[in-house]
Amino acid sequence: MDRAGDDRFALWPRLPARLLLAVLAGLLVAAALVPIGIGARTISTPAFGQEQTAEKARDNDLALYDRAVARVRGGERYYDFIAEEHRRSDFPLRPGLAVRLPTLVYIQVALGDTGLALAAILLVLAVLAAWWQRLGEEPGGIKRRPLAMALLLIGVSLGTNRYFFALHEMWSGMLLALAFGLHRPGKWLAAVPVAALALAIREHALPFVLLMGAMAAWRRDWKETAAWMVLAAAFLIGLAIHLGLVEQHVLPGDGHSASWLALRGLSGWLSDIVLSSNLRFLPHFIAGPLVVLMALGWSGWRSSAGSFGALLYLGYAAAFMIAGRNDNYYWGAMVAPAMFIGLAFATRALKSLWNVSFARS
């Protein structure tokens, strides 16, 4: 058996491989059984181009930002009315992070409905093109590129569903998928502005930026490290300004958000990924294990993309297990699009673990 190449687990000693195989078996069984929670609300997802005919069918979060777009188009300023809209929807205003950054609202106003639809299509095509190129440059990528691209298409196709055009996490997550695909160790200039836009839309992109900086520091690429740290610092300054502007409109009687420290465990991670992706169309006992196998595929891919992807997706997995309520399931859209690529490497990773664990001495 070749113990090099693009197969990370082929390099492992037998005992750790057996332990991981046992843990993996337990996770797959648990993933098929634990509940997938969405809270008290449900959503409908009309196809791209289909008109929304009933406001009552619109998710409350999305309806709030539909109204925000309409009011900015009418000449109002975001921070002058967003607190009022939160009260109208019975949404909290404390802490200020409960109020979204205004970036996406102003983008929607600037582009209009037709422009936004075109932007969604172009973004999907850009993600596919970036990953076609990157898969061709990574060890083992060309061999698995057809399957990986088919899986990526499943992951990113949700980005053309107009129902979700008001969802900050969808746009931010698609931009992170593009930034990831554009990035190379030593070639990072194109990825930084894309990640910056993702961060300006949703602060949940900050772990991506920090991990990029940490990985650059590990490689001792100090210019890249500085670029990501400057971006993080600039964002934190912008976020402080945002919180200050929100605070100016908070009244003594405005509500506090329920704690995001929900400790949902495995169910939280699986719920966020499944419900914010096209996995939601599959039976629970299939969708849950597929998420685990995605993470395994990234972890077993011995390449710069595999290393970063494994740390990124396992890091967000830990975050979703600890933080986020059931009705915050859409947070999973931050990482779901490109995560699908991991399935292309999952079978190889399973085979490698099995061979290492039970190969004859």
The CB-side HSE value for 256 (13 A sphere, CA atoms) comes to 3
Rounded to the nearest 5 percent, the helix, strand and coil shares of the chain are 75, 0, 25
* 3: its two tokens: 């113990």
Range in 30-39, 47-56, 78-87, 346-355 with the lowest mean pLDDT? 47-56
Kindly indicate the confidence band of residue 57, based on its pLDDT and cuts at 50, 70 and 90: low
- On average, the pLDDT of the chain sits at 92
Most distant pair of Cα atoms in the chain: their distance: 74
Rounded Cα distance, 295 and 316, in Å: 11
Identify the band that residue 48 occupies on the pLDDT scale cut at 50, 70 and 90: very low
Q: pTM for the full model?
A: 0.93
pLDDT digits (tens, 9 = 90+) for 121-131: 999 999 999 99
Give the C-alpha separation, 145 to 306, whole Å: 14
Quote the CA–CA distance of 210 and 196 in Å, as a whole number: 12
pLDDT band, residue 322 (cuts 50/70/90)? very high
More confident residue, 276 or 361: 276
Cα gap 186→1, rounded to integer Å: 32
130-142 per-position pLDDT tens digit: 999 999 999 999 9
How far is residue 242's CA from residue 105's CA, in Å, rounded to a whole number? 14
Mean pLDDT of 99-126: 97
Mapped onto helix, strand or coil, the DSSP state of residue 99 is coil
pLDDT at residue 104 tops 50: yes
- List, for residues 292-311, the tens digit of each pLDDT value: 999 999 999 999 999 999 99
